[in-house]
Structures are given as C-alpha cells and as structure tokens.
Structure 1
C-alpha cells in the first residue's frame, strides 16, 4: 500500500476543515459529515476550537482510498498561527491548498504558497465553494496560473490534450517525451508534480461533497510513496501537553522508531502513540514514513531533527509584537510557570522574565493569537490575566562593511578576534562564515569562535534590537598556547561584533528595521477617498484594484506600527461593510527611525551584557579599553577599509 503524509492548508474560512471532513467521510473514516459551525469537526476536537470555530492546533487523521493510505494533518488557517502551519509543512509529502472561489487569492493564500515553495512541498489545489453566488472557478484558475505558477493545471480524468500540452511545457525532458511520443507517461507527470513544476487543480464544493471524489482519485493516481533513509531519522513538528504527559509529535524519516529507544542524549522514548483525531493506540514501534507522538522526551522543539536529520533553520515567520503581562492579582510566578509551558509548545512565544521589574513579556503575531493565549491560560491554568497594548519588535541591520575587533586579556587569559561585518540580503538573518587560515589561527580556536558566533542573539547598537541581515566572517585573530581557553574566544568574539557595530554607527551605517504588512482592504466605493488618505497618513503604499459588487479592493504595504489597530477603524467608518486583511511582509527600514531611537534611550556602551569594549593586560593586571581605540591597539593587523 502506498503511504503519504498530506497537509491541508488554506486562508481562514476558505473551507479547509470542511474539505478535511469531506475526505474523511468519503473514504469511510467517518460515518457522519462533521461541520465547523456545528462544533463536531473531527479535526477540531479542542474545546477552544469548537467555541471559536477555527482550527488552532495541528491534528492528525488516518484515511484510506483504494491502495492509498493518507496520514492527514490539518493546520491552523488564521494568519496569526502561520508559525504552527510552517512547522507542519516540514514533514509533508504533499499538501492540498484550498482556495476560496469567492475571495480568490488573498494575501494569506499567497503567503501559504510561498511557504510551500520554501519547504519544497508538492501541492494539489482545490478551488472550493464553486457553488456560491459570484464564484468564478475559471477566473480563479487564471489568477493562480498568473500569480503562482503556469504549471497549475485542471486535472480532469482523463487529462485533456490541452492539459497534457501545458504539463509537458513545464519541463524540457517532458516536452521532448511529448513531442516524440505524443503523450506523457504517468511516471513523468508524477515526477513533475513531485518536483513542483506541475500543480494538479480540482474544483468543487466540499460542503456538498462535489469535487471531493475527483481529488481523492487524483491523490491516489498522481502521488508517489515516501522514500525513507536507511538509518534512523525523525523530525519534530509539534510539542503538546496532555494530562501531565509531554508529547513530542514527529515524523519518522528513516529506520524504525522503537519504544524505549534513546533518541537524544540520555533521553529515551517511553510511550509511542498512534493518533487518529483525539484518540490514540499505544504501539511498540513506528516505521519510516509514519507520524506519531511520543512521551519521555523533555528537550525537543518544533523543527528539531533526530538521528540523521538536522535541525531546521530559522522560521520564515517570526512574531512582530511584544506584550507585557498584567497578572490581575494572580501570582506572577504562577503566570510565568504557565507561560513557560505554553512556550515549550510554541517557542516563538519567547517568554522573558525581568526579576528587577517583576514583569513578563511574550512575543505574538497579532490580536487573535493574543485572545487565544488569554483563553488558554484561563482554560488550562485557571489564570485570568490581561496584556498591555503591545510594542513593536524592531530589528537592526547594517548598510556598510567594517572590521570588528574584540580583545580579551585579563591576567592569564588571552584572545583576539577579527571579524568582517557586511550587509546581507533582506530576510537572510545572520550568516557566519570562516575565511581564516590555520597558519594564522589554530583550527580549534577557529571552531570556538564560530561556535560562539551562533551561541548568542547579537543585538544592534541603535535600540538594542536583534541584529539581522548581516554576514559575519572570521578573518583573523590571535591566541596563546599558554593562556588561551575557550571562554576567552567567546568573550573576544562577542566584543568584536559589538565593536564593529559601534564603528558603523559612528559612520551612520546602522539601520533600524520595523515589520511591515501586506494589506488587502475591501471598502465601499464611497469610502475610497477616506481609506487612501488614511493609508498615506500611515506611511503606506497602495494600489487600487478591481471593483467587485460596488466595493473597491485596495492593496499595498504599511508599517505594522501604524496599521495594527486599523481594522476596527475600518469597521467603524464603513459601518461593518469594509474588511482589512493584513499579512506580515517582513522587515523594512523604519519609517520614523529617529523618533524610535530617541524614545528608547539606549546606551550601547552601558549594556554590559553586550559590551563593545575590550580588556587588555599591562603590569600584571587587566584594564578596559574603549571600542574606538581597538584599531590602534589590536595585536593582529587591522584593516580600516575591508573588502
């Protein structure tokens, strides 16, 4: 039997859970068709999901169709929970992207498309709600082909000649095969789908079960089975807590997972659970390709690789808002304990605790996630707490190159590190490389420096925000056989980064970044002038779209800081007829950087945990040296204008 793991992804209200229920019903996995609005959806078993009518957590279901076994992973639809969806994408063989035939390609849908491309997930497209008034499936297909890929093709059975020609044109080898044989083999089409060159499209209405059988038949015919590693491997995609048990959800990618097996240093799998909805069976082993939840592991996190699998890099979507917790009379430490458990499930919450201020901060994507967090704390921990209005999470980058120097030489210690700091591509984060020769610096010391670079969140010198979009290259340094130890290079490395940033700041080459939204505003025609004026006041850009049914669609970008509360304003002045959809578009230069920097009152020299100064030794004692004197005092040759 062919086995695949498939996820269903979609913009909120596109019908994702409805399609999941239809697939379960049509394959006999459920005797009754569940509905979101009835609160009996099989893949929304959590009480909070039933009350809100949305998917909040990823859930698993098993279904069979002909000779195909599908492990189905449902994902959250609201854009505030895109981080959880991104975690699930890392373990999928295929995805079904649901597109609403009435709303078309929303910003959220396009965001999901980009994520599917990022993780190279072969994708089937289901155009849903084709029975709704105003639905135009052909127009949606045309938009998908234009915006997403020309390889998006309606897969009727049998395939039309026009469809085969379009499929063949997406790949040189396939085109040669088609021109020679006047046909394409199923294996060729399967390959093109697997390589994300072709995307089978289907249309229907999941609520009325139309188009669902055709989608199932297409999955059975055009998917290929998972190819496992020989050695044991697994990837974690979810962490949860259930009745005192900490559950690690993972997909086995190689070998076989056995109960009581040690998969992390000193940590063994205790119990293996095979879930279907909210019910599970305990099994003794799981083969490669399958999904399971295990107990006994206490140091796992989403995106982690086990065995031969390596950890995933930084997620594409990070929270952009920070909220302070108002305990409302609850014990602050009880609040911290509860939030730490929720952070264990979702590390992007980034819970921070200030003992001095007795204050807790959390990082979130938006208002809906904040509301869900409040409800989780009330339901699971009986904590009725509130949050402040939220602050923007800024980032910093650089616009020029510099050589940073760090020197750490208290008595009987010695290390000097030289780093080249250069601007990186937008959205690239931090990249660390090594171009230092071993005849300049011993290999072991180089390894200590490279490890130290990745061991800390480096902060900028404008407001102390995280540094991003920067390439940092090890280019030189000095050590002492007699006095150098590993901690010395860690200190020198961190100081070198900060010293370089201070040099760039003095040159006016440090830049403050803020998060921006892609927005889609649907507004009555008579309110267009008001909306455009508001967008301009918010320092946004805009483009007027096609009018539909007396409404105008305005798309564009704007800073999160100015637009985050605009949805309520739209509802008020449009008397409920306007709708604003916002998707985080990444970070761009801050529109009011001078104002923000002045407000923060950040002193980079006084930040002792991130000092740019160094320590030298003379007359048997160490003494501090200011960052601006490092070029003249460095023991290793310093380049004023590095290339």
Structure 2
C-alpha cells in the first residue's frame, strides 16, 4: 500500500471544494455529494465556511484509490487565507490545481502556480466546469500555456462543451511537449517516426515537475473525474521517506479540541513517532493517523493528529534531524494590514486576549501584539475573526480602522547601557547594547562583545531571549528588523543570603532582572541610532488592452506606483510596476474604468521601502 499526500489548490470559486466532494464520493467515503451553496460539504466543517460558501481552514480527509492511501488536503482559495495554503505546501507530495473552464486562469491561480514551480511540487491541472455555458477548451489551453505553464499537457478532450451533456474522453498526450525533455522522443518527433508508448514518459516527467497533465471535467456532473483519479494514482509521486531512519517531521496545523486540548497535525518525512514518546518537553498522549484505525504510531509519509503536544506551534520540527531540504523559503506574501480588536463589553478584554492568542496558535501570521493588534490579509479575514470570536468564544468585538503594516530599520549605529545600582536602573543587572543596521532581508542577529564567562550563562540567555519581543515595537511603533545587536556591557550581583542562609533577592541578581532591563536598554539604543519607517511595496502585473496603455500609466503614477517594464502579447499589454501595498486596492478600483473593464491586476509582496506617506 502506497500513500500520497495530495493538495487541491485554486482561485476562489473555481470548484475546488466541489471537486473534493466528488473525489470522496468516487472513493466511497460519502454516499451523497455535498453542496457548497447548501453548506453540506464534508471538508467545510466550520459553520462560517458553510454560511459563506468558502473554505477558510485546511481540512484533511483520508480515502483509498485502489492500492493508494490518499490524504487529501482541501485548502482555502480566497487570498485572505493564503497563510493556510502556505503552511500546507511543505507537507504535500503532489497537487491538483483547479482552473475554471469559464473564468479561466485568474490572478490567484497564477500566484499558486508560481509557488508550485518554485518549490518543485508536481501538479496536475483540472479544468473544471466544462458543463457551464461559456466553457472553453482549446482557447483555455492557450491561456494556460501563456499564463501558467508552457508545459501543460492535455490528456483528455471534451465533447458537447458548455452543456450539461458534456463528456470527457482520454487522448494521447502531445509528443512535442514530452519530446522537449526526452531525447528518444525528440528523435521520433524530428524524424516523424512512430512514437512509442508515451504514458511512461508522461509519468516520469510529471513526477519530476517537468510537465503538467491537463484534465477536463466537471465536479458537479462527475464528467472527467474518473480520468483525473487515474492520473492522481499513476502520475503523482507516492510519499517517500525511510521508516527506519531518524525521526523527522513537522507540525503544519494546530487546532483546539472540544475540551480545549491542543491538537497538532504532524506530517512525518522519516522515522516513526509513537505514543508516549517525547517531542521537545512534551509527551505524545495519543495519535489519530489518517487512513489507519487504532494506530499507535505514525511513520514516514503519513499524517496524524497528535495529542499531548501542549507547546507545539505551526512549523515546529518533530524529530532530531532537520527536515529534508532544510526550511522552505516563504512562498507567499506576508500580511500587510493590521487592526486593533476591541471588545464591545470591556469586561471581556482579558477573555478576548486569550481567545486571540488561541487563534494566533492556529494562524501564526495573525501576529498578535500586546495591545490586541492583529495582522490581516484583507477585510474578509477581519469578518471571519469577528464571527469566530462571537460564535466560538461568545465575545462580541469591533475593529478599529485597518492600517498598513510597516517595519522599522536602524538608520545608523546606536548604543546604550545601564549599570547595576546606578540610577535610573531599578534592576540588579548591568546591560549594554549596541545596534548596527544590516542589509534588507538579513533579519536580526545577536552577538557578544563581553566575555561569556563574565556572568552566568542563564543571564546571557535571558538577554538574548528577550530581544525578539523587545523588537516588536520600535520608536515609531512598528517591529524593528534588519539589525545586528551586540552586548557591550554585562554585570551582576552574585547570589547572597542572610546569616540564616535564606536567599535574599534584594541582594542577588536573577534572570528576571535581565529580562526586565533589556527592553529599556534596547529602546534607548534604537533611539540613539534612529530608525526609518518602511512600508510594504508590491510587485504588480497589469494585463490591459494594448490601446489603453496611455491611459493606464497615469493611473499607476496616481497611486505612487513606479512602472518598470511593458511588453506586448498580441492585443494585450503587460505592465510591470512597483506599487505601495496600501495603494493596490485603489489601483484595482481605478484600472477597470480606463480599460473598458478588461484590465487585470495581479499583486504580491516584493520588498520594504522607506515610507513616503509619513
């Protein structure tokens, strides 16, 4: 029995959840296909998901297709929940990317495809909704080649396209695309000889991520789904990993159970994790392995829900060796909006902070701060947080106006220190820190310019561990990054006691003294250095009718954008630009008016730049 961890990705409303229902029905997991509109789908378990008709949380469902055990992960399609997609990609073996035959390749589809290419994840393309009026096939294949990948390989064709009678038949994959990656096929193609069986080459190239088979079908009628299932089983690579090797895995999702216990979703890449074994400081008290009843262990290639990992956070390793390939780079844009959450009843303030802390466990990019500020991708996510707090925690809330998240970078060098027993230092600790700017993207580093043996190691650790929290709020109120911090002064009072041998904290330094003093010294050093506020800037791609270019460029300038390049693809002009993230919403609003409604705006985070808006 082989296993496959499969993701289904798509732009919102392309039919991803409907396809999941159809696959579950075909596998015999459900007797009746649920409806997104009716809120009866298996994977959209949240009441809010059913009400809105969108997927918010990734859901895992296990079933068998022949001799393959499939863990299918249905992920959100709305851009506001892209963080949920991001954390899932690292645990997948293959993907089905859903494209609507009517709407075609949409902005989010392209973002997802670029990320799949970057990570080298094999994927199939399922062109859904072939039964809908306006559905396209050959024209859409050209669009896929232009906007997604030139390596799309159609393996099915549609009859009665755009009608409820639409049906799908298998076809031989085109030789020319496969020949680009196979010398034997290339020779046959050039010489015009008979082509050998192309399916083995298609399997090999698909698993290597060189080509992407395209299947047509309809999740609603079931047309083409059997062919897609055959493709999933035969074309995508099975889960790998050595069950006898060192334990290696990752936590990719965290939930709370009915009684409030933490549930950690774990994907194992190697070795075995068993009940009663330790992970860090916690001990596994229970395992629910997807596709296996009553399992007491989870092995390489499998996914399980682990209980007892009370300290687990998304992204935590499970094991004693690094994950294969090391830590994956961030694939999607970070959130660029923030808002303060306020309880309607002030008596709920403590309960609100605790509830937000639990939501931040499930989505670390919420980035909860002490003043109950949360990070956001968009307004829909704000509505979801508000509804979740009301329905699951019984807390009514409002949001202050949404603002753009900025960061601060040191403008120069700065230093500060506080000496023990010298005012205005109320703590029994000496701490001196110097800050230096680092190149963009370098993050935060910490180093010592004092002897490591000059005081107990736990005091140095207290300083180092306090710094990340202290950097969350710089002189201008934003998180500080791209900074090198050096400890320049260190001192303490050794443990002392009275004559009757009881410990006297008033005479002895503790780690708490260093934790309390470090933020004060670091804040003073940053003030001495000065910081620059930087705003997020998106890389924007506009596809507009070529004859509207002269009207589009002034609109880009109107939103403080900087055009970088233009190119022409037939009647379409592609404009690349950098635009402040805070103004992208204005760009999306203005472009249709100068492009007869035909302009398409695609944006993703690119870099941070000094703010010009104050």
Alignment TM class, shorter chain as reference: 0.7 to 0.9
CA distance in 1, matches of 2:59, 2:300: 20
Number of residue pairs matched? 568
User: What is the TM-score of this pair, normalised by structure 2?
Assistant: 0.75
Task: For 1:573-592, list aligned pairs within 5 A.
Answer: 583-590=603-610, 592=612
**Aligned position for 1:298:** 310
**Aligned position for 1:62:** 62
CA distance in 2, matches of 1:290, 1:586: 35
Secondary structure of 2:370's aligned partner:
strand
**Aligned position for 1:166:** 180
**Aligned position for 1:376:** 388
1:322 aligns with 2:338: yes
| Aligned-pair CA distance for 1:343 | 1.8
| Aligned-pair CA distance for 1:481 | 13
| Aligned-pair CA distance for 1:240 | 1.0
Aligned equivalent of 2:367, options 350, 371, 382: 350
CA distance in 1, matches of 2:297, 2:265: 14
CA distance in 2, matches of 1:585, 1:343: 22
Secondary structure of 1:207's aligned partner:
coil
| Aligned-pair CA distance for 1:197 | 2.8
CA distance in 2, matches of 1:118, 1:141: 22
**Aligned position for 1:539:** 560
Contact (CA 8 Å) 1:27, 1:63: kept in 2 or not?
Answer: yes
| Aligned-pair CA distance for 1:334 | 2.2
CA RMSD of aligned residues (A): 4.9
Alpha-carbon distance change, 366 to 590 in structure 1, aligned in 2, over 3 angstroms: farther
1:467 aligns with 2:480: yes
Alpha-carbon distance change, 548 to 238 in structure 1, aligned in 2, over 3 angstroms: farther
| Aligned-pair CA distance for 1:307 | 0.8
Task: For 1:91-490, list aligned pairs within 5 A.
Answer: 91-155=91-155, 158-168=172-182, 190-229=203-242, 230-244=245-259, 245-265=261-281, 267-274=282-289, 283-308=295-320, 310=322, 312=327, 315=330, 316-329=332-345, 331=347, 332-354=349-371, 360-397=372-409, 410=420, 421-424=437-440, 428=441, 430=443, 432=445, 455-456=468-469, 458=471, 463-468=476-481, 470=482, 472=484
Structure 2 spans left out of the alignment, 5+ residues:
157-170, 422-427, 495-508
Alpha-carbon deviations, 1:540-589, whole Å to 9, x = none?
Answer: 4679999999x999986543333447878999x99x98998775424442
**Aligned position for 1:515:** 536
Secondary structure of 1:208's aligned partner:
coil
User: What is the TM-score of this pair, normalised by structure 1?
Assistant: 0.72
Contact (CA 8 Å) 1:168, 1:178: kept in 2 or not?
Answer: no
Contact (CA 8 Å) 1:407, 1:492: kept in 2 or not?
Answer: no
Alpha-carbon distance change, 118 to 433 in structure 1, aligned in 2, over 3 angstroms: farther
Greater mean alpha carbon deviation, residues 197-206 or residues 411-420: 411-420
CA distance in 2, matches of 1:398, 1:141: 49
Alpha-carbon distance change, 13 to 583 in structure 1, aligned in 2, over 3 angstroms: farther
Structure 1 spans left out of the alignment, 5+ residues:
355-359, 597-643
Alpha-carbon distance change, 297 to 489 in structure 1, aligned in 2, over 3 angstroms: closer
Alpha-carbon distance change, 179 to 581 in structure 1, aligned in 2, over 3 angstroms: closer
Alpha-carbon distance change, 76 to 579 in structure 1, aligned in 2, over 3 angstroms: farther
Contact (CA 8 Å) 2:435, 2:483: kept in 1 or not?
Answer: no
CA distance in 2, matches of 1:139, 1:80: 30
Contact (CA 8 Å) 1:421, 1:473: kept in 2 or not?
Answer: no
| Aligned-pair CA distance for 1:384 | 2.0
Alpha-carbon deviations, 1:14-43, whole Å to 9, x = none?
Answer: 111122122222333333222211222221
CA distance in 1, matches of 2:434, 2:527: 14
Alpha-carbon distance change, 328 to 534 in structure 1, aligned in 2, over 3 angstroms: farther
CA distance in 2, matches of 1:179, 1:531: 45
Secondary structure of 1:423's aligned partner:
coil
CA distance in 1, matches of 2:197, 2:369: 57
Contact (CA 8 Å) 2:386, 2:396: kept in 1 or not?
Answer: yes
Alpha-carbon deviations, 1:616-643, whole Å to 9, x = none?
Answer: xxxxxxxxxxxxxxxxxxxxxxxxxxxx
Contact (CA 8 Å) 2:288, 2:305: kept in 1 or not?
Answer: yes
**Aligned position for 1:604:** none
**Aligned position for 1:7:** 7
Alpha-carbon distance change, 55 to 519 in structure 1, aligned in 2, over 3 angstroms: farther
Alpha-carbon deviations, 1:142-195, whole Å to 9, x = none?
Answer: 3433444433333455433223213438xxx99799999976987765554344
| Aligned-pair CA distance for 1:2 | 1.8
| Aligned-pair CA distance for 1:346 | 1.6
Alpha-carbon deviations, 1:379-427, whole Å to 9, x = none?
Answer: 112222211121211023468xx66666676479778777764323xxx
CA distance in 2, matches of 1:158, 1:563: 44
CA distance in 1, matches of 2:591, 2:350: 39
Alpha-carbon distance change, 581 to 377 in structure 1, aligned in 2, over 3 angstroms: farther
Contact (CA 8 Å) 2:406, 2:533: kept in 1 or not?
Answer: yes
CA distance in 1, matches of 2:174, 2:443: 48
| Aligned-pair CA distance for 1:376 | 0.7
CA distance in 2, matches of 1:139, 1:488: 68
